[in-house]
Chain A
Amino acid sequence: MSSAADHHAEVDPAYRLAHHFESPEQQFETGKFGMWAFLVTEILFFSGLFTAYSVYRSNEADLFSYASGYLDTTLGCINTAVLILSSLTMAWAVRCAQLGQQRGLKFCLIVTLLCAGGFMGIKSVEYHHKIHNGLFPNAHFGAHEDPDGVPLHITDESGATVANPAARPAPENLRSFFGIYFCMTGLHGLHVLIGMGVIFWLYLRARRGEFGPKYFGPIDFTALYWHVVDLIWIFLFPLLYLIH
């Protein structure tokens, strides 16, 4: 009967086997199961927001249809494509690690990082427009323009500010749509940033050549996380941008 210590002594260091596991297979399976369980918590974390979205959209369908017009479908579409591309390169990174292709692995991780950075860049342009238009739900909330870009208020001959008859008037409670929009996309953006941090850490480790056919768990698990982050965006995009 060999004890665990003997067992570990025989194991190739390339497996990076932690002290409390019996075998590299067990270590990998445990990590994978842990990541799936964590992703379940992530889904439930977002589920509160999706529930709030469903409640308010069913209560105020017209408001959601109006407010969605403020969102830039083109930029949203580009961002969706960028994220899907990053999922592809992340999946490819897993394959590279499994096959021991060190250069390919580093390349894929870098492309994934660039895509994620691009996504955040485009997102910040969108946020900037919204905040500029008074659509950030804080104390200064109040739209300046309607969804078509027509000013909601104009100055008449006497210099007084009056409602612009050419604009579509903003409905009451416009704020609750943007409350949900900023909470959902903001939380998603935070997950993208966390993912970028982890992927950068993986890149540093990949440069040291830590990954290969015997040890690719962290790449695999991070890829799972990354796909879920993408998947959440794939739900957010039509629910927020494509409903008018």
Chain B
Amino acid sequence: MSSEAHVADGSAVHAEHETGENYLNCSHGLRSWLLTLDHKRIAVMYLAGLAGALFLGGIMALVVRLELWTGDGLVLSDDLYNHAFTLHGAIMTFLFIIPGIPAVFGNFALPLMLGAKDVAFPRLNLLSWYLWITGAVFAIVSMVVGAVDTGWTFYTPYSTQTSTQVINMTMGVFILGFSSIFTGLNFVVTIHKLRPAGMTWWRMPLMLWGLYATAIIQVLATPVLGITLLLLVAERALGVGIFDPSLGGDPLLYQHFFWFYSHPAVYIMILPAMGVISELISVHSRKTIFGYHAIALSSVAIAAFSFIVWGHHMFTAMSPMGNMIFSALTFSVSIPSAVKTFNWLATLYRGHIRLNAPMLYALAFIFLFGIGGLTGLFLGALATDIHLHDTYFVVAHFHFVMVGSTLIAFLGALHYWWPKMFGKAYDETLAKIACILVFIGFNVTFLPQFVLGTRGMPRRYHNFLPEFQGLHQASTVGAFILAIGLFLILVYLWKSLVSGKKVTVDNPWGGSSLEWLTTTPPPHYNFVGEPPEHDVYDYHDIRYDAAIDGYVLSKNEGDAAR
């Protein structure tokens, strides 16, 4: 990539603006995409891949829910049911939620928000996309040739005995792990080393703090998953006797290893979502974020606490003392989470709230994360966890956090950055309807599962007693409402790409971070000339201009409206 391509002098800047050249149309052809080193294009390629994974995982979810319409199943055999929920879990976790927000919106927005031209290692960034694709191929191949029936956790000793495609699937997850490590590594190094002179740590948007905390976990925890899965493969292929009790191994050691990664991994899923919500709440309340430092540091605190709570997945298998320590540590995570929630609420207070689609998602997030977070306390408490362990209560809890929070934030981010990414507007009315459908569908799906769990319905069972049928059917109806909502989003976003109204304004929402101060869609090198300087969450000089239906930076303090 030659530096001559970069436009430097004023007349050329003008020319670039006039011709409407941007990162999407600066070069053409499939090759220019598949070999791109541009973080924005890689983000778009991730978005396409992740949408596919979400679709596949979503189909599996519908199969599972449909199967649970009656207590004896509908069409699937017990084995196929086990395959369906395993694939749903594995695809959604490893292919969609974990890469999720960092891979798409982190890749797109991080260098822009920072004022950098790209991430620190653009080639590594492209490599991580190819690793994602390779991991996805492994997962899909394992589906085609015989699937996996262990659940997404691959617990030993069952995973060393079952005749299904465990090696294929775990190799896929291993490769996806490296994709995740490289993305995290890139983000950590970019934030440390590529900040322009004016961009100090405390001037970074909270999205970046969320991504930074996430990246730290990705870098520190994912290698442990890698070695765990390698050992599992070695155990299956050779029988090295590390996890298999019949060869002198310890199956519980597998669980410790697995959760040493996978508990931090749930914060890999939620922390970037919290970053997104901090942006959405502040921009759409037209108000400075309340408690900036508290929100920023609570992200780092969650990342730190995430490493010392894994034992709560094994309350039924550890010593009483170990249980008490892990229970107490688990409660510590609720403190930074609550700090964030209260700060978002305080930001809303007396703000000029705009109830557009991204904001609706942000408000849904606060509501659903509240439920998801508080029900986590039930599971962190030893006495109640013994009762709720491995029931639908656990299923409902983590779906409130993973779907109700992360997916909702993903959708909020998608609507928020969509005009900037593609320079196209979507249908706002349909977007609001879809958001409400998703919200209702989600709650109808998962609120009944809390009740099912407290009444003793165990997770992962194909059959259930007649008394559970009503709640299971409600949950299935909810899943289809949710699916309709998501499908509607797919339809109008596709329509927006094909025939949507062009967005030419730099700043349609009145955002204060740097990506809103460059052109839409951004140029290849992110900024024409030097990146602008602006205080994030400072809205007093960002003024609505009715003539262009967008916001402009007003240098004149007197002109500035709110």
Partner-B contacts on A (CB < 8 A): 1, 3-6, 8-9, 18-21, 26, 29-30, 33-34, 37-38, 40-42, 44-49, 51-52, 55-56, 136-139, 141, 172-173, 175-176, 178-180, 182-183, 187
Contacts and interface: CB of A to CB of B under 8 A. Distances in A.
B188 interface: yes
Given A19-B3, A180-B240, A183-B230, 19 more contacts: A1-B529, A4-B6, A4-B530, A5-B8, A19-B117, A34-B186, A37-B219, A38-B185, A40-B219, A41-B222, A44-B220, A47-B223, A48-B227, A55-B253, A141-B239, A173-B247, A175-B241, A179-B249, A183-B231
B223 A42 contact: yes
A9 B222 CA distance: 40
A183 B220 contact: no
B249 A5 contact: no
A41 B242 contact: no
A23 B115 CA distance: 16
A178 B234 CA distance: 12
Given A1-B530, A41-B223, A45-B227, A6 B8 contact: yes
Interface of B: 1-4, 6-8, 116-118, 120-122, 181, 185-186, 188-189, 192-194, 219-224, 226-228, 230-231, 234, 238-242, 247-250, 253, 257, 525, 529-530
B238 A30 contact: no
B3 A175 contact: no
Given A5-B6, A33-B192, A176-B247, A48 B224 contact: yes
Nearest to A60: B248
A98 B177 CA distance: 36
Contacts of B181: 41
A3 to B, nearest CB: 4
Nearest to B249: A176
Nearest to A7: B3
Contacts of B226: 45
Contact of A139 (B120, B220, B239): B239
Contact of B242 (A8, A37, A138, A180): A180
B241 A173 contact: yes
Given A19-B6, A52-B242, A137-B240, A29 B193 contact: yes
A52 B242 CA distance: 8
Contacts of A183: 230-231, 234, 240, 242
B120 A175 contact: no
Given A34-B185, A41-B185, A41-B219, A48 B257 contact: yes
Nearest to B120: A30
A182 B231 CA distance: 11
Nearest to B9: A3
A37 to B, nearest CB: 5
A13 B498 CA distance: 44
Contacts of A48: 223-224, 227-228, 231, 257
A125 B327 CA distance: 50
B239 A19 contact: no
A137 B239 contact: yes
B342 to A, nearest CB: 33
Contacts of B189: 30, 33-34, 37
22 contacts: A5-B3, A5-B4, A5-B8, A20-B117, A20-B194, A26-B193, A33-B193, A34-B121, A37-B219, A40-B219, A41-B223, A45-B226, A47-B224, A48-B223, A48-B257, A139-B239, A175-B241, A175-B248, A178-B240, A179-B234, A179-B238, A180-B240
B1 A19 contact: yes
A40 B6 contact: no
A30 B240 contact: no
A40 B215 CA distance: 13
A178 B7 CA distance: 61
B8 A175 contact: no
A86 to B, nearest CB: 24
Contacts of B529: 1, 3
Given A47-B224, A139-B239, A183-B242, A4 B120 contact: no
Nearest to A136: B238
User: Which 4 pairs of residues, A with B, have the shortest CB-CB distance?
Assistant: A179-B240, A173-B248, A48-B227, A45-B223
Contacts of B230: 183, 187
A237 to B, nearest CB: 20
Nearest to B235: A179
Nearest to A179: B240
Nearest to A141: B239
Contacts of A26: 193-194
B239 A138 contact: yes
A176 B247 CA distance: 7
